[in-house]
Structures are given as C-alpha cells and as structure tokens.
Copies of this chain bind each other. A is one copy, B any other.
C-alpha cells in the first residue's frame, strides 16, 4: 500500500448542507489535516444548478452538473451524497460503492426505505458508508450507538428528533396558541416547510427512529412497522392539562427493548416536566439513550441547519479518511453489527403496546356521563389514576380528562371506540400516551 498524499472528496448535491460542508472544509482545512495526517480536499462538486449563490466560493473547475463525473473521478476517494430524495440519491450511493468509493450521506428517508440494500452493497464492497448527519443534525448520536455505547444492551431510546415539530410544540406550550397559528408563524419564519407533512405528521421522526433501532439492536427495520402519529391534533387544552399533571408534551421517537421484542413508535408523548428532555426547546433535538451499563445518557444539540449538519458529514469524512490511510475501511459496519450477525427482532404491533394514557373526552355535561365512561374503561380492564372534570356547564360541551394506570393499547382503543359511539360525546376524543412512573 503506497502512502496516500491526500484524501479526495466528491460532493453530489450542493444545497444547504453541501454549502455548510464546503465552508467547513475551507475554514478548518489545517485542523482537519492535523488530525488526519494528510490534506482532505474537496476535488469535485456536482449539482444541477451551478449558478445559484451559496455564500461560499469554489473554484469553477471543481463544478460539474454530471454526478457521474464525480463517481468516475479517480481523485475522489469519498463521495458525499447530499442530494436527498430517493431516486438519484440511491443511484449516487450505489454507483459510488460499485466503484469502490466510500460514501457519506445525510439521507434518512432513503436509509429508512432502502438501508438494507445499501448496507449490503457497502459491506460486500468493503467500503465505508457513514451517516452521522441522518439523525439529530450535528449531534454525534450515530457514533454513540455504534461506538460510544457499543458494549451496552440498549434498553430504551427517547428522541426529540424533528426540530420543526419541537419548535411548534414549544411555542404552543409557551404561548398557548393553536397548532395552526403556530404552524403559520413557523412557515413565515422559515422553520417549517410550505408542505410540513413530513415533519408534523411524524414521518421524518419515524425514519430517524428506524435508523437508530437498526443500529442499536442489530436488526433490519421496516419503517412501515413503526407506528407513526403526528402533532396536528394536539390542542392548547391538552398542553395546559399536561402542565397541570406535571407533564410536557413532546413528539417522541420511542424504542424500548422488553422480553425480546422492541417497541418502535412515534407519537406525541407526555413526559415528566422535570426530565432532561422535557427542557429541550425550539428547533433543538435531544436523544436519551438508556443502556444496561451506562444507564441514562442525553445528547443535545441542533438537529438541522447547514453548519451543524455539515459538521456531522465532515466527522464522517474524517473517520473514513482515517480508515483509508490504514486500509481499514469496513472497520465499523454500516449497521454497526457484522452483516451476518444481524438478527430480525420483532417490532411489537402497536395494539400490543402497554402504556399510561391521557384521554380527553368532550362531552355534553349531564349527570351520569363520568360513570358511563368509567364503566366502559373498567369493562376493558383499564384502571383510572385520576380524573379532571372542571367548569361544569349543564347541557354544554365540557372536557373530561382521565389519566390511566398502565393499560394495553388494544383495550384502550376498543374502549374508546365504544365510548365514542355514545350520544353524549360531542367531539373526537384525544388520546396522548404518557411516559412516567405508574404510581
């Protein structure tokens, strides 16, 4: 093996994150060289739009609008796929791997959908495939799962992993405004997309959770098995009841390992207001990992943005450069476990999950309503830990709020179906799962 004089990096997709990466390579070139031992240089950049101003200067000779030119450039050792989306991104990644190049991607949607095929290709080619930027922006959470906590059986993951949703819920909590109002503001401020579905419906969180579960447990995950519910139905009323009970509502990606199965689900969740992740506000992300040895760890930081996400991409480039210099690519398999040591673990179907529940019924206020509701819950084996029934207004619609002890999702859902058919129910019932101590 002749010593390499430098490591060449090719960038495909010169968007927001790409511009951050370019800026970091420019600003911190000396620092990176001092860590790696040789210069790490951007030698080729492909994008369909070569005219737009990204706020960074690059020599015109580096630019091309043909990503194949990046893949086939012999000076390129590492390809950065920052195109996003499914189709071209996948071609870029598999094309780079086929040419024996290592790959860095931030593409959680692609990994959640086609991770298995891509991992397999990378392992077969013995190249590196790293994706620190795919979850939690600049937070080194992928590394925590694959390396820092590698000796732990992960017992649970609680992740605030979508900045847009957390921004909206934080503002709703602080200001008491409705989801729609805050969403509108967030869109005007650039914190939410024109079509915010991916973020507020929990889909983006589900992708990220699927990746984390796959790395934590050495199991392939079909993202379709991840129960996914967004924040669009959370009302200011629920937020103020949560406060009253000592909880904060967050959109969480939750994984729990119990009895050989895994819970993997994304939904709004009430968590104790004093817990570290309840304090995470605005566009910040945080991931709590509980391992059997390390106990509870929280990693907190900016979950998106040009420079933070760029930081994660560059950390992967440095890791791969260090491998390339020693002929050690494939050192940590993309899925963290050896490919032939991965075992399918069952994701527990949502109806088999057990949880504490907050249930808000909107009822016509008349005598006997609470006893009928309590009766149905009791018949389904659901035991009530507290009830709030405030501001009685005979004949009008009022909230009846119930907190349950630990109950089965299936029982809760069938009880709700039964109650929702009763004549005194005047609006759809709101159900929020609660993580806390069952007292």
A residues bordering B, Cβ < 8 Å?
A: 20, 23-24, 27-28, 31-37, 132, 138-140, 143-144, 147-153, 218, 276, 279, 291-302, 305, 307-308, 310-312, 314-315, 317-319, 322-323, 326-328, 330-332, 336-338, 341-342
Contacts of A336 in B (CB 8 A): 35
For this complex, 7 residue pairs linking A to B, each with C-beta atoms less than 8 Å apart, are A31-B151, A35-B337, A140-B147, A143-B148, A293-B310, A294-B312, A328-B328
Given contacts A297-B299, A326-B331, A328-B323, contact A315 B149 (CB under 8 A): yes
Contacts of A295 in B (CB 8 A): 138, 301-302, 305, 307-308
A314 x B150 contact (CB < 8 A):
yes
Bound complex: CA A144 to CA B317 (Å): 15
Q: Which of B27, B318, B326 meets A147, CB within 8 Å?
A: B318
Residue of B nearest to A326 (CB): B328
Q: Which of B149, B293, B315, B338 meets A151, CB within 8 Å?
A: B315
Contacts of A36 in B (CB 8 A): 338
B153 x A311 contact (CB < 8 A):
no
A298 x B300 contact (CB < 8 A):
yes
Contacts of A297 in B (CB 8 A): 138-140, 299-301
Given contacts A311-B293, A328-B323, A331-B326, contact A148 B140 (CB under 8 A): yes
Residue of B nearest to A140 (CB): B148
Contacts of A143 in B (CB 8 A): 140, 143-144, 147-148
How many identical subunits does the complex contain?
A: 2
**A29 nearest CB across to chain B (Å):** 10
Contacts of A314 in B (CB 8 A): 150-151, 293
Contacts of A342 in B (CB 8 A): 34
Q: Which of B28, B144, B218 meets A140, CB within 8 Å?
A: B144
Given contacts A149-B140, A151-B32, A314-B151, contact A300 B323 (CB under 8 A): no
Bound complex: CA A317 to CA B310 (Å): 29
B338 x A37 contact (CB < 8 A):
yes
Known: A292-B307, A297-B299, A300-B300. 9 other contacts (CB 8 A): A31-B153, A140-B143, A150-B314, A150-B315, A293-B314, A298-B300, A322-B332, A326-B331, A331-B331
Bound complex: CA A265 to CA B346 (Å): 50
B319 x A24 contact (CB < 8 A):
no
**A246 nearest CB across to chain B (Å):** 16
**A341 nearest CB across to chain B (Å):** 4
Bound complex: CA A29 to CA B306 (Å): 40
Contacts of A300 in B (CB 8 A): 276, 297-300
Contacts of A34 in B (CB 8 A): 218, 337-338, 341-342
Contacts of A32 in B (CB 8 A): 150-151
Given contacts A293-B20, A300-B298, contact A147 B319 (CB under 8 A): yes
A140 x B138 contact (CB < 8 A):
no
Residue of B nearest to A279 (CB): B279
User: Which one of A297, A302, A305, A318 has the highest number of Cβ atoms from chain B below 10 Å of its Cβ?
Assistant: A297
Top 8 nearest A-B pairs by Cβ distance? A140-B148, A151-B314, A328-B328, A138-B294, A34-B341, A293-B311, A294-B311, A297-B301
Bound complex: CA A256 to CA B300 (Å): 20
Contacts of A317 in B (CB 8 A): 151
Bound complex: CA A323 to CA B322 (Å): 11
A138 x B293 contact (CB < 8 A):
yes
